[in-house]
Structure 1
Amino acid sequence: MTPHLVETTQDKIVEVVSQHMTSLAKKQIASTLTLLEEGSTVPFIARYRKEMTGNLDEVQIRDIQQVAKKVSELSQRQNAVLKLIADQGQLTKQLNSAILNATSLQDIEDIYLPYKQKRRTKAMIARENGLQPLVDWLLTHLSATRSQINAQVNDYISEALPTSESIYDGVHEILSEQIGQQALFRQWLRARLVRDGVVSTTLKRGAAEKDEQQIYQQYYDFSETVPHLKQNGYRILAIDRGEKTGILSVKVTFSDERAFFFMKTQLIKSVTGYAADLVIAAIEDAYKRFILPAVTREIRQELTQLAQEEAIKVFGDNLYHLLMQRPLKNKIVMGFDPGYRTGSKLAIIDENGKFLCSQVIYPHKPANKQQRQEAVTLFQQLITQYGVQLVAIGNGTASRESEEFVAMHKPDHVQYAIVNEAGASVYSASKEAREEFPNLHVEERSAISIGRRIQDPLAELIKIDSKSVGVGQYQHDLNVKALDEQVDVVIETAVNQIGVNLNTASPQLLTHIAGLNKTLAQNIVNYRNTQGTFDSRAQLKLVPRLGAKSYEQSAGFLRIVDGKNQLDNTDIHPESYHIAQQLLERVKGHATDSALTALDNEMMAKTLNVGRETLRDIITSLRRPGRDGRSEMTGALLRADVLRIEDLKVGMKMQGTVRNVVDFGAFVDLGVKQDGLVHISKLAQKRVTHPSEVVAVGDIVDVWIESVDEKRHRIGLSMIGINSLSE
């Protein structure tokens, strides 16, 4: 029959998306999809098309985008499978209906399995030898005796099947494969495994020596139900890694008896007979050989996918807060990249991030006494000569010794901060770093990166492979494509929320502005280098290959400080400048809080023929020109003294910086060599589902020392107070 295909009209997609996102009106979904199809970016839609979408935020817009994509992918696969089965001449009305009613890709694949081209099997060979009619006869004569079956078998003896045993073997193979390919059985088992399955892990024989540090010790004899394991994604990722490294054996188990009973009930009911016994044997073989292995693989893949999605989300949240840390403006900074044998690299950065000079000192052993004394002299000379106000110390090798050195020899007015240097070495050896500082050594570039990270985290971290910044869990085991997509989303969100200075932004930063790409970003920089600084947003239209759509999408996120038009230093879009000008005329050009807040927004929106949301944003921008959303975020924790792990005592209250948030807690930098762990149970008095509900990367938090293990370099922390520790 000719297949009835799925129609993928926008109305159909809107209908399905609305079923997944019930809190949204169909009009909101339809408007958002239309804007996306027209080439609008998510940041642009969220910021400048609020009236069209009903004030949807970026997360909601991206959710609509993702669900719509899944709907389209499902429809495409349904149509592809319908055509493939129809081409084989095996499509029936019932089969067509089953495929059209499938609600997941897995359901479609279950239905398609018997018709899928596959490698040559024993069952195929048995069919080629003419045994399918005998199998069909058996299934309609389940109460047949052995002698009745033997009478049928004799008719199938041939050169290819010379004995009754070979015929019975062929019948068994066909039965097992047919049963194993039934969608009903796979779907039933999948549902039961998701609800009642158990994941068990054991130490592989002879693998103990591979796990010298006993990282996987808790999984040497471990079992947990599938539903409970779903709630602890970090365990799934740990199990996957342990299996991949050859340390752990993993299996998913379920009651064979329950599965056999269900399949027998469906196929033979209560019929008895030799034919029924043959089917029962095929049921058990099909279950063990085809159904159970396939479904357990699917369950493992689903668990891994869920764990990876959660880990990618955690990574994205951590990265966002890392990028959005408040910059330390108007400070001359010394970047201090610690080292032992090769020395510590220093870089002086002015208030605007411009590199001034570099120096290498040898403050630590194995340097001799004279070299260490010279290090003190050079360090202090640089501070005095350049007016250094802050020392940014990388947290890598020799970090704590360098912290002691800085604290001991700096002037009293100079502060220091420990900076997470993860990824600095990767960046310093990159093409971008070589192009920016072609005459500097790798180590010198690393010191510059460390210094700039504290001045403007976003501008500097944007240059680094985000997987190297050390703010996730198992990020190197995650799906690369999905992780990269999440990184792109997070960076796009952060960059466009803040906006960038059109005359100083790097190509890397400009690339992430809505409507721009790598080529356009470089073209902007080239134009800036040849034509001079931009003095208006309108000049963007003169940049080669930057068309009307790119200008529309990007202009509002690009700022010009001290330009011809004060509106160019706001996040007001040029398309709304006439509205802003009329507002300024009404307050006589004085965009003060009192003058603007005195306006009747509802009346003004009608007068100016503009949406209330857009008007509200324009007024906010006029009140705070050049605003930077990071001003409300946490900045670096500045220190003037130094601590060692030996100084820590149980019950001591301290302040630290959250360096990483993972499923089971948060790691906090206290200013000693080892970060401390606040377990999820110690984050708050109330029950915490995930640590991100309480803390974020970059937060400065009060903690109490709960335990100190100097030998293992482990520090246990609590955020619920000293009184709670003694209860």
Structure 2
Amino acid sequence: MSDTKIFSFLAKDLNFSQKQISTVAEFLDDGATVPFLARYRKEATGGLDEEQIRAIRDGLETQRTLESRKETILKSIKEQDKLTPELEEQIINCTDLKTLEDLYLPYKQKRKTRGDKAKEKGLEPLAKLIWEQEITSGDPVEYAKEYINPEKEVETVEDAFDGATDIVAEWINENLEVREMLRDVFANHSNIVTKKNPTVKERTNFEDYYDFSQKSKHLKPHQILAINRGERENILFVNVDLWEERTLENIDDKVISNDLSIFTPYLQDAVEDAYKRLLFPSLERELRSELTDKADAHAIETFATNLGNLLMQPPLDKKVVMGIDPAFRSGCKVAVVDKHGKYLEGTTTYPTPPQKKVAEAEVVFETLIDKYGVELIAIGNGTASRETEQIVADFLQKRKEKHPDEELHYLIVNEAGASVYSASKVAREEFPELDAAQRGNISIARRVQDPLAELVKINPKSIGVGLYQHDVNQNQLSGKLDDVVESCVNEVGVNLNTASAPLLSHISGLSKRVAQNIVKHREEEGIFIDREQIRSISGVGDFRFQQAAGFMRIPESKNPLDNTAIHPESYEAAEKLCNLFGINLDKLSEEKDKIGAKFENVNLKETAEKVGVGVPTLELIIENLQKPGRDPRESLPKPLLRTDVMKMEDLKEGQKLEGTVRNVVDFGAFVDIGVKQDGLLHISNMSDKKKIEDPHDVISVGDIIKVEILKLDLERGRIGLGLVGG
């Protein structure tokens, strides 16, 4: 299939025009990034967003892989001198990998089979008599006698028929119609059956699957992943169950065309052998693999959605933060960072068991708060988190008596990945003089100030908002999470004068090396004062500049457009627009509130022609003139800040309170309501008006929600929640 045919196929498959597909393909092949195309090439792509462009990118990759596989297969069959015009046409017109591999199956180089050995014994002509079903009279034994040959180990009629049916069984296995029919049967009628391994004595997390059976098509993604893990850990035995008798009849219907053939009983034997020995094991593996792929895709999508919501949490910037990384025996690490995330001072306290040096810890807190003007305390949510929270809450209550007007709160921060960061090369380069334990609490403090800037330093898989993330296809997971990080970083944009190298490396068009060169230039030459300076960085040519410039912000620039998402290629148009509507560019930040009124009744098409751009670019310019330096995260609700803590014993069924969504999974969400244990908001309790199919339709990671306590189990530490107003 040529590129033109691929574009045509994808246009129909994705419901875009062929021109949109070919345009995106050309840009991507030239090295353009998805965020750049989605924001700055809307005229060319017909207004496609990032998700749509990524769908085209992935479709192109799939179809090009398919084309490459076709070439390999055609070459292989040609070399065997078995390529007929009909087969070639079938392969060329094939649109999915599964059918393609079925077409190739009879010609695939494989180790010697029972059928191959039977052919070597000269039994293929007998197999053809059985397969063709044309002889309706006479004794089959008489036909078989001709093939007895003791020298080739065919000593009896039975030997002849055994070998011939081995050959026929392989023909049945390789039959396209049979395989397609059986695929449909497996997909719609098979059950996945799981049993407990009788050698397992201790309790496990897989008790729901000790005696379990479910139609494979009705299995939920989390059930598939749990079953796979239980099987991998040798706790569960897993089988695919199918009504064998009915399935064999279905194959008979495809294979047996003449019931009067004298070889029908042998053909039926071959059908049964093909099914049990070849087809069932092959299609069982295929079904399990497909179920896993489906579950993987769902789990990866869930993880990606959660990660995107976590990365886009609103920053609590401009606050001096004290980060606490809680622990028991090794003590709680404390660090203070200034309003820009710069590390000021750190130490270790021992308020938690076994030392319980609460008074000494309170002196340290008091000293650091007074010395640096701490406005917020961030507590990691790992081991000893709730014990530390109680100590901090008690401390804040005492401090409130002496400083009644002080605005000092604490909040619990998801610390997943902090230990990974603290031992990483990035952390060592940032804080070479500190040990790993002390770096983690700096990360916790900074996550409050700017979650995106801090979390991009960590492998997304370590951030802890997934389900079964270590079980799914790791390449697909990494690719998807990289897309999410790229999308979030470029949507927000970065301050070129404060961004770290890890954050810069996610900007459209920039590599890790170029990001490091930017930081080095900043340290040696001072801050950037306009976007054009980026061109002087080693490794930045015209193309990289084009891809990256619009996503970088320079608040210190004399040109206010350098602090917007307006691309330098559109500066001339932006200046023309300002002249047309009497906007003083030099006083943009002062006049931004008045600008909206000037564009109230603007004729977009007419104005776009006057300033020499397309309508989408004009809309981008107008939006950014009104909000220079805008952070899209600002409009989201801020994290929930606390001054006091509750115990589970303080809770009552029916009580209503606010909580923060920590993780969203298939069956619901885990919500931090300020007690030791997160509560479970089950999907069935998200609405009393309608059935919710996907929790992400209702809530996201980081949301502040109002919940009601429906069920309390103090003994097991479980809290069941319902969504208020759901």
Which residue of 1 is the match for residue 222 of structure 2? Answer: 234
Which residue of 1 is the match for residue 612 of structure 2? Answer: 609
Deviation digits for residues 669-698 of structure 1 (CA, Å, limit 9, x no counterpart): 111111111111111232211000000000
Matched, 1:219 2:213: no
- For residues 13-52 of structure 1, what are the structure 2 equivalents within 5 Å? 13-22=6-15, 24-52=16-44
Displacement of 1:256: 1.8
Deviates more, 1:158-167 or 1:12-21: 158-167
2:104 counterpart letter in structure 1: Y
Deviates more, 1:25-34 or 1:171-180: 25-34
- For residues 75-154 of structure 1, what are the structure 2 equivalents within 5 Å? 75-141=67-133, 143=135, 147-154=139-146
Indicate how the Cα distance of structure 1 residues 382 and 173 shifts in structure 2: closer, same or farther if over 3 A, else same: same
Using the aligned pairs only, state the percent identity.
45
Displacement of 1:266: 2.6
Matched, 1:372 2:376: no
Match for residue 175 of structure 2 among 171, 182, 191? 182
Q: Is the 8 A contact 1:321 1:698 kept in 2?
A: yes
Match for residue 358 of structure 1 among 323, 346, 352? 346
Indicate how the Cα distance of structure 1 residues 138 and 404 shifts in structure 2: closer, same or farther if over 3 A, else same: closer
Matched, 1:575 2:579: no
Which residue of 1 is the match for residue 448 of structure 2? Answer: 454
Indicate how the Cα distance of structure 1 residues 141 and 494 shifts in structure 2: closer, same or farther if over 3 A, else same: closer
Which residue of 2 is the match for residue 292 of structure 1? Answer: 280
Displacement of 1:172: 2.4
Q: Is the 8 A contact 2:329 2:355 kept in 1?
A: yes
Matched, 1:390 2:362: no
Q: Secondary structure at the match of 2:240?
A: strand
Which residue of 1 is the match for residue 403 of structure 2? Answer: none
Q: In structure 2, how many angstroms separate the alpha carbons of the residues matched to 1:80 and 1:287?
A: 29
Displacement of 1:113: 0.6
Which residue of 2 is the match for residue 336 of structure 1? Answer: 324
Q: Is the 8 A contact 1:46 1:55 kept in 2?
A: yes
Match for residue 406 of structure 1 among 360, 371, 392? 392
Match for residue 677 of structure 1 among 675, 680, 688? 680
Match for residue 483 of structure 2 among 489, 496, 505? 489
Displacement of 1:429: 0.9
Displacement of 1:135: 1.3
Q: Secondary structure at the match of 2:628?
A: coil
Q: Is the 8 A contact 1:8 1:72 kept in 2?
A: no
Matched, 1:719 2:708: no
Count residues with an aligned counterpart. Answer: 707
Q: In structure 2, how many angstroms separate the alpha carbons of the residues matched to 1:146 and 1:359?
A: 97
Displacement of 1:141: 4.8
Q: Secondary structure at the match of 1:396?
A: coil
Instruction: Give unmatched runs, 5+ long, in structure 2.
Output: 401-405
Q: In structure 1, how many angstroms separate the alpha carbons of the residues matched to 2:102 and 2:154?
A: 36
Q: Is the 8 A contact 1:16 1:71 kept in 2?
A: no
Q: Secondary structure at the match of 1:672?
A: coil
Matched, 1:167 2:171: no
Deviates more, 1:640-649 or 1:131-140: 131-140
Q: Secondary structure at the match of 2:470?
A: helix
- For residues 247-646 of structure 1, what are the structure 2 equivalents within 5 Å? 247-272=235-260, 274-367=262-355, 371-410=357-396, 411-412=399-400, 413=406, 414-586=408-580, 587-589=582-584, 591=588, 592-599=592-599, 600=602, 601-646=604-649
Q: In structure 1, how many angstroms separate the alpha carbons of the residues matched to 2:501 and 2:312?
A: 19
Matched, 1:710 2:714: yes
Matched, 1:656 2:653: no
Deviation digits for residues 650-684 of structure 1 (CA, Å, limit 9, x no counterpart): 00001000000001101101111111111111112
Q: In structure 1, how many angstroms separate the alpha carbons of the residues matched to 2:140 and 2:655?
A: 86
Q: In structure 2, how many angstroms separate the alpha carbons of the residues matched to 1:560 and 1:148?
A: 89
Deviation digits for residues 345-367 of structure 1 (CA, Å, limit 9, x no counterpart): 10001000000000111112211
Displacement of 1:377: 1.2
Q: Is the 8 A contact 1:635 1:698 kept in 2?
A: no
Q: In structure 2, how many angstroms separate the alpha carbons of the residues matched to 1:75 and 1:588?
A: 54
Q: Is the 8 A contact 1:142 1:271 kept in 2?
A: no
Q: In structure 2, how many angstroms separate the alpha carbons of the residues matched to 1:434 and 1:359?
A: 18
TM-score (norm: length of structure 1): 0.95
Deviates more, 1:178-187 or 1:148-157: 148-157
Displacement of 1:201: 1.1
Indicate how the Cα distance of structure 1 residues 602 and 136 shifts in structure 2: closer, same or farther if over 3 A, else same: closer
Q: In structure 1, how many angstroms separate the alpha carbons of the residues matched to 2:724 and 2:700?
A: 16
Q: Secondary structure at the match of 2:152?
A: coil
1:547 counterpart letter in structure 2: G
Deviates more, 1:304-313 or 1:195-204: 195-204
Q: In structure 2, how many angstroms separate the alpha carbons of the residues matched to 1:431 and 1:646?
A: 44
Deviation digits for residues 52-89 of structure 1 (CA, Å, limit 9, x no counterpart): 11211100111111112222222222232122111111
1:177 counterpart letter in structure 2: E
Which residue of 2 is the match for residue 191 of structure 1? Answer: 184
TM-score (norm: length of structure 2): 0.95
Displacement of 1:611: 1.0
Indicate how the Cα distance of structure 1 residues 674 and 152 shifts in structure 2: closer, same or farther if over 3 A, else same: same
Indicate how the Cα distance of structure 1 residues 623 and 274 shifts in structure 2: closer, same or farther if over 3 A, else same: same
1:451 counterpart letter in structure 2: A
Q: Secondary structure at the match of 1:322?
A: helix
Q: In structure 1, how many angstroms separate the alpha carbons of the residues matched to 2:636 and 2:583?
A: 34
Displacement of 1:273: 5.5
Indicate how the Cα distance of structure 1 residues 35 and 155 shifts in structure 2: closer, same or farther if over 3 A, else same: closer
Q: In structure 2, how many angstroms separate the alpha carbons of the residues matched to 1:408 and 1:158?
A: 94
